[in-house]
A and B are shown apart, each in its own frame.
Chain A
Amino acid sequence: MFSDELARLSWDDTTAAIAAKTADDVERALRRPKPTVDDFMALISPAAEPYLEIMARLSRRYTEERFGRTVSLFIPLYLTNSCTNSCVYCGFHVANKMPRTILTPAEMEREYAAIKELGPFENLLLVTGENPAKAGVPYLAKALDLAKPHFSNLKIEVMPLATEEYAELRRHGMNGVICFQETYHRDNYKSYHPRGMKSNFEWRVNGFDRMGQAGVHSIGMGVLIGLEKEWRTDLTMMAYHLRYLQHHYWRTKYSVNFPRMCPAENGGFQPNCLMTDRELAQLTFAMRIFDHDVDISYSTRELPAFRDHMATLGVTTMSAGSRTEPGGYACYPEALEQFEVSDPRSVDEVVNALKTMGVEPVWKDWDSVFDKHLSDGR
């Protein structure tokens, strides 16, 4: 389990090592055909800032070699904002007095149909808060069953599940799981997630092993940038985690996300660090140079012009037309959003912008026929 590996890594030593990186370290990392985590540390360090243009060129080259000039499009659907957790930074915090919605099967159908009106989406991400009693595995299975006729690739972003539960959802057509660790800082994790199921660090961080053991085909990872002041250290831990998972669960493909918080997002919680566009670009290029094959995903948290350019330089998956409130496409368009969308463009506008940048938007890159005949663990 990754928690054992993580226990051997020192947060403070890693932070110091990143701060000590020099231009020589960066150049060595840029030249290495297969960069190590240590190289990744050099590439995200301040020492690499003067190399941003070279990094952009390398990142673009590796991305084009592996993915071509394409970006895969997906759309998220929030099934519920009901949540028993108390993440201090989240608008769906259990103590927030707000109307809670759990979409009924009939409402799901309406949402799926409304999404299909927005564009020929085939990649659907189903999102929930953590409420296992009312929106647990049977509920998700139902949502997958109903989505399956309309979408060829179904992913979920929900609370960490048990191995058998992931296997069960695979049998209902689930192809991938996205789960953000939020932070790899074990002690601080507790203060951001003081109560509820999510307060258990080990259960969350080892959830990725359980996904791998259940044979989940696609696993998405992420650190919530804004929680830890030393975001470079957090991302380095994620890089170790990625390598660990690739080594152990080699049949699975991986994606990474870099969600960054904005100041005063959802009122209360103030981020402990603010990442600039330049830093996010550097991080994205560094990840691509570190791993030529990993899928790099941007959400509509980012601004239109930034997304459009990054789609040519390393980003390979994007959401478009997103609503981050449950039932936001058809049933409850006025409900409270989880985060504020910074790219409010219509799907057509995003598609046209990508084409103008010389990038082909890809709607379908999977077929549900591949999710049939599943044997557990493979």
Chain B
Amino acid sequence: MSDLIIGGRTFRSRLFLGTGKFRSNREMAAAIAASGTEMVTVAMKRIETTNASDDMLVHVQRDGLQLLPNTSGVRDAEEAVFAAQLSREAFGTNFLKLEIHPDPRYLLPDSTETLRATEELVKLGFVVLPYCAADPTLCKRLAEAGAAAVMPLGAPIGTNLGLRTRDFLQIIIEQATVPVVVDAGIGAPSHAAEAMEMGADACLVNTAIAVAGQPAAMAAAFKQAVEAGRQAFEAVLPVQAANLRAEASSPLTAFLD
């Protein structure tokens, strides 16, 4: 399998993990280990940024693990830029998962603010991975603005509904000039495998692992699903059957005879 490069860093694992919703930080750490992930998101709002021995931080600051601080909680571009600067101070990384969802119910991203914030943050030297709607044009604009990857949603956060935006994800992947990370809505390993078979560059999973009966075992299952899906994509899937039979009556090409 090929490596994935984002923000100049090479990732062998194409599974990214969210760190919210776990029953305990120990369970989270076990899931991270079992998943083989090399990038985990951390919500700034969850971390005591002034406390170096913050329990969550201790569990995610490990060698080989890229922290991807997210701005969850901000409601517009100005707040996001401010939060990003704090995050850079606190975590010592330019990587940033940009999340702007003013709507507290479905946590759906604000496209206008996300594009504005991306433009601004790229100028400030951040490696910006925006969480966004599965909108192909928006993804083009984000890439033009300098986003290091785009993170379109498969379904609303936490719903485990799978790739409800399938047709749009396909267009996004087809047109992509930056890596496409399918984020949100992935509720089962089969969903992750499907995204990878379509040609997504990576998947970000949180709820499906965190609230599983056995998070570490589920993390291992996702690891295999993402690898299998990617391998299938790189091996080039066979085309599924379609009817190629010509209809006998009044051929369209008779005028050429």
Contact = CB atoms under 8 A, between A and B. Distances in A.
B253 A30 contact: no
Nearest to B257: A278
Nearest to B144: A250
Interface string A17-43: 000000000011011101000000000
B233 to A, nearest CB: 14
B240 A31 contact: yes
Contacts of A349: none
Nearest to A279: B256
B140 interface: yes
A27 B255 contact: no
A31 B253 contact: no
A281 B253 contact: yes
Contacts of B238: 28
A278 B256 contact: yes
* B contact patch SS: loop
Most buried by B among A31, A247, A312: A31
Contact of A31 (B174, B177, B239, B252): B239
Given A34-B174, A250-B175, A313 B252 contact: yes
A321 B177 CA distance: 43
A281 B256 contact: yes
Interface magnitude class on chain B? 10 to 19
Given A247-B175, A250-B140, A30 B244 contact: yes
Interface string A36-59: 000000000000000111101100
A31 B242 contact: yes
Nearest to A309: B255
Most buried by A among B238, B245, B255: B255
Nearest to A27: B244
Contacts of A281: 253, 256
B189 to A, nearest CB: 25
B104 interface: no
Most buried by B among A34, A51, A57: A57
A57 B246 CA distance: 8
A65 interface: no
Interface residues of A, number: 23
Most buried by A among B240, B246, B253, B255: B253
Contacts of A306: 255
Contacts of A32: 239
Interface in A299-354: 305-306, 309, 312-313
Interface in B200-228: none
Interface in B44-86: none
Contact of B256 (A30, A60, A277): A277
A52 B241 CA distance: 19
23 contacts: A28-B238, A28-B239, A30-B244, A31-B239, A31-B241, A31-B242, A31-B244, A32-B239, A34-B174, A53-B246, A53-B252, A53-B253, A54-B244, A54-B246, A56-B252, A56-B253, A57-B247, A247-B175, A247-B177, A250-B140, A281-B253, A305-B255, A313-B252
Q: 7 tightest CB-CB pairs across the interface, nearest first?
A: A56-B252, A31-B239, A53-B246, A31-B242, A309-B255, A54-B246, A56-B253
Given A31-B239, A54-B245, 5 more contacts: A30-B242, A32-B239, A52-B256, A57-B247, A281-B256
